[in-house]
Amino acid sequence: MGKPTGFKEFARKTPNETQPRLRVLNWNEFHEHMPEGELKTQGARCMDCGVPFCHTGQLMNGMAAGCPINNLIPEWNDLVYQGRWREALDRLHKTNNFPEFTGRVCPAPCEGSCVLGIIDPPVTIKNIECTIIDKGFEEGYVQPEPPPYRTGKKVAVIGSGPSGLAAADQLNSVGHSVTVFERSDRVGGLLMYGIPNMKLDKAHVVQRRVDLLEAEGVVFKTGVEVGKTISAADLRKEFDAVILATGATNPNDFFGKTPGRNLKGIHFAMEFLKANTKSLLDSEHKDGQYISAKGKHVIVIGGGDTGTDCVGTSLRHGCKSLVNFEVVPQPPAQRAPNNPWPQWPRVYKQDYGHQEATALFDYQHMSNKTLHTDPREYAIQTTEFLGDADGNLRALKTVRLDWTKPDAEKKTPFSVIPNTEQEWPAQLCFLALGFRGPEPTVAEQLGVEFDPRTNYKAEHGKFTTNVEGVFAAGDCRRGQSLVVWAINEGRGAARECDRFLMGETALP
């Protein structure tokens, strides 16, 4: 690397952020870019390790370890240190179609597997990645690159989320005519409506890339729901190949039999998030076509990224109070013995929504014998939703859980702690409990088989379904996962689709 001793000389530094109390007043992105000199210093911390685990992209203990799209991280870290931004961008684009997305919303498993992270805070890989691509757009390095010729082959991509867009980009680059079908009114899928604007700007970041793909020859058809607006079987006849990238959009509902589940005010997370972003983009919320948390007591059940997004969105509406329930215990401050490097570190941290809630509300509670200020309540289970005379949600009833004592009779890995019943005021409750697979209509019309987890059945690496010429990629094939895995699968499905169409492929 350019600075062999950089990892010993420089400390990790991350970009400044708008203060939580200020950023909740709008829907803008709140991360600032670091000065170029400071970024070069951060690039110098990359330590030229003999085996760079940051780009290995393995699954360890069920979670990503290293970059799933195998970004050439040490190479572009070095190029940034040397100030060779254009070359850094070229290196980044070799493996990643959309670094402006991953540089903003990816949880950075690369940093969790950074060799420097064994003894010191890891290299700020995600921030460097985001700056490379943003600088590329600012300097005009990123321009439309239509393919020099067309093969005469037509491919339909169903779904315009990250896997669908990656597949379309790859197939278009080798000359196939690609049409992407999206049932929503805007292109982007999860990127457009599943992630709030303050985390991923729609007009500037997402639409900018969509416009670029369109300029390169990709055709987008919005408001078309394959299976309803147009038959999937008819689509198959019209195109030489079809890639299913529909996402996993069936939400989990672990409270189906919980008393009070049907009360008004209980919503799945995506009902809340999608309507909010659509109203924001359509009218800056003037149309009122969204679920408003203003002046209400809000409880979010589920502690993943989607739960955090519900927290951040509710705070920007001006909710009266906010609590986030987690059924699992609070993670430790440091890696546990059963969570060694280079696995993803399952440790306690605050995401942006938790930081904002902490700044706005007074939370003080004990966890692991330590006083914490945090909107999350750990090891807690909702036992009942309580309503008023008009059928509106008014409160949740909960109990506390002991994860050190399994309940053999109920066959659960925890037991309920006696006399811990508690009532929490709530007029809104958002269920952020993950997803259980894709909607079946398209697959049923095409005759595509499902796997035991109700996903479309297709082997990773091949992405071929049981129907010739039909491929599956992303969350609809692997189950709910990260944006970076979706890009990985979209690229892989494009490669195998190209091989099917041409007999060979040069796609990576």
| Domain definitions of the chain by residue range | 6-138, 154-249+436-502, 266-431
Q: Is the pLDDT of residue 163 over 80?
A: yes
Is 80 exceeded by the pLDDT of residue 262?
Answer: yes
**Cα atoms in the 13 Å half-sphere on the side-chain side of 226:** 27
Question: What element of type H or E holds 416?
Answer: strand 415-416
pLDDT for the residue 365: 57
Tokens of 181: 């079908």
Mean pLDDT computed over 168-182: 98
What is the CATH architecture of 266-431? 3-Layer(bba) Sandwich (3.50)
Q: Average pLDDT, stretch 97-102?
A: 98
pLDDT at 58: 86
pLDDT number for residue 3: 85
Per-residue confidence at 62, pLDDT binned at 50, 70, 90?
confident
pLDDT at 370 over 80: no
Token pair 């060779």: residue: 84
Beta bridge partners of 384: 397
Q: Is the pLDDT of residue 369 over 60?
A: no
Q: What is the pLDDT of residue 68?
A: 95
Neighbours of 184 (CB within 10 A): 16
Q: 154-249+436-502 architecture in CATH? A: 3-Layer(bba) Sandwich (3.50)
* Whole-Å CA distances, 447 to 109, 236, 242, 328: 36, 11, 13, 39
pLDDT, average across residues 293-320: 97
Q: What are φ and ψ of residue 498, in 5° steps?
A: -60, -40
Percent of the chain exceeding pLDDT 90 equals: 92
Q: What is the DSSP letter of 121?
A: P
Strand arrangement, sheet containing 266-268: 266-268, 428-431, 297-301, 321-325, 376-377
Report the amino acid identity of residue 409. E
Identify the DSSP state of 484: H
Q: Averaged over 275-298, what is the pLDDT?
A: 98
pLDDT at 316: 98
With beta carbons less than 8 A apart as the criterion, state whether 386 and 423 touch.
yes
Q: Give the confidence band of 1 by pLDDT, cuts at 50, 70, 90.
A: low
Question: What pLDDT score was predicted for residue 372?
Answer: 60
At which residue do the structure tokens 């991360």 appear? 31
Domains 154-249+436-502 and 266-431 share a fold: yes
The rounded mean pLDDT for the chain is 94
pLDDT of 366 higher than 90 = no
Q: Looking at the predicted structure, is the pLDDT value of residue 483 above 90?
A: yes
Q: Let me know: does 462 contact 493? Beta carbons within 8 Å.
A: no
Strand 219-222 relative to strand 177-182: parallel, antiparallel, unpaired?
A: parallel
Q: What is the mean pLDDT of residues 145-167?
A: 98
Contact between residue 135 and residue 35 where contact means Cβ atoms under 8 Å apart = no
> Are the C-beta atoms of 228 and 158 separated by less than 8 Å?
no
| Residue 48 clears pLDDT 90, i.e. is over it | no
pLDDT of 368 > 70? The answer is no
Q: In the structure, what pLDDT confidence band is assigned to residue 136 with cuts at 50, 70 and 90?
A: very high
C-beta contacts of 398-406 below 8 A and 24+ residues apart: 398/325, 398/422, 398/423, 398/424, 401/327, 403/328, 403/329, 403/379
Is the Cβ–Cβ distance between 463 and 492 less than 8 Å?
Answer: yes
Q: What is the pLDDT of residues 268-283, one digit of tens each?
A: 999 999 999 999 999 9
Q: What is the CATH number of domain 6-138?
A: 1.10.1060.10
Distance CA 463, CA 457 (A): 9
pLDDT of residue 10: 94
pLDDT, one tens digit per residue, over 387-412 is 999 999 999 999 999 999 999 999 99
Helical ranges in 174-331 per DSSP H: 207-215, 232-238, 269-283, 305-317
Length of the chain in terms of residues written: 508
Interatomic CA distance for residues 390 and 448, integer angstroms:
45
What pLDDT, on the 0 to 100 scale, is given for residue 296?
A: 98
Assess whether pLDDT exceeds 80 at residue 337: yes
**How is residue 411 written in tokens?**
């066959």
Q: Against a cut of 0.75, is the pTM above it?
A: yes
What value, to the nearest 5°, has the Cα angle with vertex 330 and ends 479 and 419?
110
Q: In this model, does residue 153 exceed pLDDT 70?
A: yes
As a whole-number percent, the residues of the chain with pLDDT over 70 amount to 98
**What per-residue confidence (pLDDT) applies to 57?**
86
φ, ψ of residue 386 in degrees (nearest 5): -105, 140
CA distance 379 to 395: 19
